[in-house]
């Protein structure tokens, strides 16, 4: 095609020197569409993070103990099965909120309670990326410390399944998957109760009913939806999925993922593009954006529920990929990309102050207490020590 993509909009950045420094990130459109460019920037980001680790290892993190997170299909079958069994183990470990006694029944459920409590502060706010980074890492830690998991933590690169989410190795219903699609229902989009903003206006996916085959067929969702009178009350039901290839292809393709990373000169626009935050005119074209696109490619109940989506086991692979995008974006220009932007309420409603890196994120009793500054660096050693490949 010979078309060269202008990767940085200098009019937006107002700091053209940085743009020139990143000039080597110009890719032909065909490489962006095919995923080749994403592989390239992913490798660059990993190399940059490891180089930093090499020059400045910390007590907690060095090149010998750094963990490498991997795409689901690049993890060997037995290791994927071990991961899934560790998730099932968390579903049998005791829940940890002493003051919540009704619906939540497991440590896995406690993560859902935590997300429910913090949702208004950690979406479309200054905290979105760093909160979810800590949240997913804490889940990984529990898999290891409570359930003996020793393998790689998996992420889901949605764009690899833009041809058919139903045939994804995550959802093919095999022993090494995370269970199948939901049963086909004869209604349109039945599976997004109180879902994401705008969740009702696309056609349904290819399922909608209970997961029929393989892992998590017998998993009981214990509470929710967020529209219930008491969202934390016991409400046992099956796991429903409504896989949606069209949503995946339109909003979470390899092209979308790559351009979301390359077109954002600063953290405010990066997080806006990633979430389709329409307060930024430049972010409007992204629609559901990769964050919503990945969530809605799974959809169903509780996968399509803004508050309780972590009760869908694949939430963690989905947000692993969100965090990977953040990792890549940060490590393409590390010196400039350790900042925070935005306020401390969702869509700044109600209006609130700006978040700062010195703010404290307390996720007890599920996890620990950290300043946001400590969460910026995945190889900072306190608490993190991982990269993505």
Ligand X SMILES: *[C@@H]1O[C@H](CO)[C@@H](O)[C@H](O)[C@H]1NC(C)=O
Shortest reach from residue 65's CB to ligand X, in Å:
31
Smallest distance from ligand X to CB 315, Å: 20
Least Å distance, CB 373 to ligand X, is 17
Of the pair 119, 217, the CB lying nearest ligand X is at 217
- Rounded to 5, what percent of the chain is helix, strand, coil? 45, 10, 50
Distances (CA, A) of 117 to 100, 317, 363, 364: 12, 21, 10, 12
Tell whether residue 84 is a contact of ligand X (CB under 6 A).
no
Q: Which of residues 320-349 bind ligand X (CB under 6 A)?
A: 341
Q: Report how far apart the first and last C-alpha atoms of the chain are (Å, whole number).
A: 28
Q: Which of residues 220-249 bind ligand X (CB under 6 A)?
A: 249
Cβ of residue 244: shortest distance to ligand X, in angstroms? 14
Q: Is 99 in the site for ligand X (CB under 6 A)?
A: yes
The vertex-358 CA angle with 355 and 361, nearest 5°, equals: 75
* Residue 74 near ligand X by CB under 6 A: no
Classify each residue of 304-320 as buried b or exposed e, where b means 16 or more C-beta atoms within 10 Å of its C-beta: bbbbbbbbbbbbbbbbb
Between residues 226 and 378, which has the closer beta carbon with respect to ligand X?
226
Helix (H) / strand (E) element for 154: namely strand 154-155
Segment interacting with ligand X, rule: CB under 6 A, options 69-77, 165-173, 214-222, 322-330: 214-222
CB 273 within 8 A of CB 283: yes
- 384: tokens are 């993190």
Report the residue number, 89 or 249, with the smaller CB distance to ligand X.
Answer: 249
In eight-state DSSP terms, residue 204 is -
Nearest distance, CB of residue 121 and ligand X, angstroms:
11
Q: Which is nearer to ligand X, 223 or 386 (CB)?
A: 223
Record the tokens describing residue 202, joined without a space.
């696309």
Closest CA to 388 of 257, 268, 205: 257
Near ligand X by CB under 6 A: residue from 354, 356, 369, 382:
354
The distance of closest approach from Cβ of residue 113 to ligand X in the complex, given in angstroms and rounded to an integer, is 8
256 interacts with ligand X by CB under 6 A = yes
C-beta separation of 116 from 176 below 8 A: no
Binding to ligand X, residues 281-310 (CB under 6 A): 285-286
Residue 80 CB contacts under 8 Å (≥ 6 apart), including other chains? 72, 154, 169, 176, 177
Which residue's CB is nearer to ligand X, number 279 or number 285? 285
Closest approach of Cβ 389 to ligand X, in Å? 23
Residues that bind ligand X (CB under 6 A): 97, 99, 117, 186, 214, 217-218, 249-250, 253, 255-256, 285-286, 341, 354, 365
């Amino acid at each position: 095609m010979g078309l060269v993509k202008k990767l940085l909009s200098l009019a937006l950045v107002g700091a053209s020197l940085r743009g020139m420094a990143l000039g080597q990130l110009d890719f032909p459109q065909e490489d962006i569409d095919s995923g080749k460019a994403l592989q390239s920037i992913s490798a660059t980001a990993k190399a940059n993070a490891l180089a930093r680790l090499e020059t400045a290892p910390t007590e907690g993190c060095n090149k010998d103990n750094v963990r490498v997170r991997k795409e689901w299909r690049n993890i060997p079958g037995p290791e994927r099965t071990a991961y899934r069994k560790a998730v099932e183990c968390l579903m049998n470990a005791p829940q940890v909120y002493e003051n919540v006694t009704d619906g939540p029944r497991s440590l896995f459920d406690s993560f859902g309670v935590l997300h429910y409590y913090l949702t208004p502060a950690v979406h479309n706010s200054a905290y979105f990326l760093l909160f979810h980074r800590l949240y997913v890492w804490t889940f990984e830690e529990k898999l290891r410390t409570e359930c003996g998991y020793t393998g790689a933590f998996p992420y889901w690169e949605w764009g690899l399944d833009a041809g058919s989410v139903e045939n994804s190795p995550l959802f093919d219903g095999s022993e090494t998957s995370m269970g199948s699609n939901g049963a086909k229902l004869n209604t349109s989009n039945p599976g997004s109760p109180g879902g994401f903003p705008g969740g009702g206006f696309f056609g349904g996916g290819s399922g909608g009913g209970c997961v029929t085959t393989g892992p998590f067929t017998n998993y009981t969702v214990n509470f929710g939806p967020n529209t219930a009178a008491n969202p934390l009350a016991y409400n046992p039901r099956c796991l429903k999925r409504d896989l949606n290839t069209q949503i995946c292809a339109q909003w979470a393709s390899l092209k979308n993922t790559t351009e979301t990373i390359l077109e954002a000169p600063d953290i405010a626009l990066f997080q806006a593009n990633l979430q389709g935050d329409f307060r930024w005119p430049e972010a409007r074209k992204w629609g559901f954006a990769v964050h919503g696109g990945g969530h809605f490619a799974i959809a169903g109940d509780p996968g399509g529920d803004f508050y309780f989506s972590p009760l869908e086991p694949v939430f963690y692979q989905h947000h692993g990929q969100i965090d990977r995008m953040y990792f890549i974006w940060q490590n393409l220009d590390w010196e400039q990309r350790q900042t925070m932007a935005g306020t401390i309420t969702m869509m700044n409603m109600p209006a609130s102050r700006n978040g700062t890196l010195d703010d404290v994120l307390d996720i007890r009793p599920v996890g620990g207490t950290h300043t946001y500054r400590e969460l910026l660096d995945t190889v900072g050693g306190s608490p993190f020590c991982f990269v993505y490949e």
